[in-house]
Amino acid sequence: MAQIPASQQFASDNYAGICPEVWEGMRKANEGSVPAYGDDPWTNGAAEAFRTLFGTACEVFFVFNGTAANSLALAALCQSYNSVVCSAYAHVETDECGAPEFFSNGSKLLVARNDQAKLRPDDIRALATCRSDIHYPKPKAVTITQPTETGEVYTLDEIREIAATCRALGLRLHMDGARFANACAALGCSPAEMTWQAGVDVLCFGGTKNGMGVGEAILFFDPALAEGFDYRCKQAGQLASKMRFISAPWIGLLETGAWLRNGAHGNGCAKALARRVAALPGVSLMFPVEANAVFLTAPVSVLDGLRARGWRFYTFIGGGARFMFAWDADPARVEQLAGDIEALAQ
Ligand SMILES: *Cc1c(COP(=O)(O)O)cnc(C)c1O
């Protein structure tokens, strides 16, 4: 038997297990036999649950992970000679091993030339209008991450302004919503308001970080953009033969409201940690804490001290310590972390 770690860690929201509502959804789907490859009542039910939640007749697809969801969604928007505008922090740029370029047969990412996780209309205009000659990959899409990789949340006005900029320039708007639920909980708005009503064309809705074991959903608000997308998923190795086990969990997550509760819980834990440590000597928040992430700069002695006390965390953004809070974050353990940071910073 492998040894079970005694103490919860906040290095990644993917350290969390499967939430009870998802587990129950899986259990229900495990009864009896149904057709394979998504031609089953669970998969239809999950797509319907998304249409109900978003209040619109969107096209819905289910894939295994976020890299595939983002890459295939962007590939659906682009020809191989097109380009996609993104932030320098975008997961598609920094953490997908070139998959967006690979699955689009070469569509190039045009990365904003500044040090901001949030993309601004000016960044989009600059990259989309600086060239119009045959030698430049023709801009066709924009991708924003909501919340950003640094835990910041675009306001509805910011999304609307980006969407208006896209429309004026003839670009499609994609949203990487790996932590979409955290953003909805943070803004207190409906999924519709943050997406199609604000001008988003395609959304990747993260399931894994929201409490599933595996799985992301892709929503096309303009059904014309989804043409052939089922083939794209199959060709990319993303069509699950026992599809019900990646679709049915969504029913449990969406219909019980667990998706939003889970997001709100993670956000609350991040806020709690931020409140406790923001004013400590030598410690500061690198980014406003608006979702479920806390990024801290702290003296090397504090970071080393935390590691010595058994805490795990990443420092891949700007050398600061990143802490992420999922649906299962234990408030007492968050307090322990805060107490350790406090003790080390004195
Ligand atoms: C986690 C994450 C993804 C998905 O990553 P996979 O490991 O491919 O599932 C996508 N975008 C962002 C911003 C993420 O944090």
Report which protein residue has its CA nearest ligand 1's atom 4.
66
pLDDT band for 331, please (50, 70, 90 cuts). very high
Provide, rounded to the nearest whole percent, the portion of the chain with pLDDT above 90: 97
Give the length of the chain.
Answer: 346
Residue 3 has pLDDT above 70, yes or no: no
String of DSSP letters for 165-229: HHHHHT-EEEEEETTHHHHHHHHT--HHHHTTTTT--EEEEESGGGT-SS-EEEEESSGGGGTTH
Atom index in ligand 1 nearest the CA of residue 90 equals 13
Q: For residue 318, what pLDDT is reported? A: 86
Query: What are the residue ranges spanned by the domains of the chain?
Result: 20-255, 260-345
Residue 202 alpha carbon to ligand 1 centre in Å:
16
Residue range 69-92: mean pLDDT, rounded: 98
Residue range 26-38: mean pLDDT, rounded: 96
Q: Which CATH number fits domain 20-255: 3.40.50.620, 1.10.3720.10, 3.10.450.50, 3.40.640.10?
A: 3.40.640.10
Report which protein residue has its CA nearest ligand 1's atom 6.
66
Report which protein residue has its CA nearest ligand 1's atom 1.
178
d(CA 226, CA 204): 13
d(CA 103, CA 140): 16
User: Which of 3-7, 100-104, 152-156, 163-167 has the weakest average pLDDT?
Assistant: 3-7
Q: Whose structure tokens read 């835990």?
A: 151
Residue 67 alpha carbon to ligand 1 centre in Å:
6
Residue 145 alpha carbon to ligand 1 centre in Å:
10
Residue 339 has pLDDT above 80, yes or no: yes
d(CA 270, CA 10): 10
Provide, rounded to the nearest whole percent, the portion of the chain with pLDDT above 70: 98
Q: Which residues form ligand 1's pocket by a CB distance below 6 Å?
A: 65-67, 70, 91, 145, 149, 176, 178, 208-209
61 DSSP β-pair partners: 218
Q: Which of 63, 95, 149, 182 has most ligand 1 atoms within 8 Å of its beta carbon, as the pocket-test mutant?
A: 95
Residue range 227-239: mean pLDDT, rounded: 98
143 DSSP β-pair partners: 174
Residue 33 alpha carbon to ligand 1 centre in Å:
32
Residue 154 alpha carbon to ligand 1 centre in Å:
18
The per-residue pLDDT for range 269-328, each reduced to its tens digit, is: 999 999 999 999 999 999 999 999 999 999 999 999 999 999 999 998 888 999 999 999
pLDDT band for 6, please (50, 70, 90 cuts). low
Residue 137 alpha carbon to ligand 1 centre in Å:
25
Q: Which CATH number fits domain 260-345: 3.90.1150.10, 3.30.565.10, 3.40.50.920, 3.30.1360.20?
A: 3.90.1150.10
Q: For residue 134, what pLDDT is reported? A: 97
The per-residue pLDDT for range 100-109, each reduced to its tens digit, is: 999 999 999 9
Q: Which of 67, 118, 119 has most ligand 1 atoms within 8 Å of its beta carbon, as the pocket-test mutant?
A: 67
Residue range 187-209: mean pLDDT, rounded: 98
Atom index in ligand 1 nearest the CA of residue 209 equals 1
- What would the two tokens of residue 2 be? 């492998």
Residue 11 alpha carbon to ligand 1 centre in Å:
14
Assessment of whether the complete model's pTM goes beyond 0.95: yes
d(CA 174, CA 195): 9
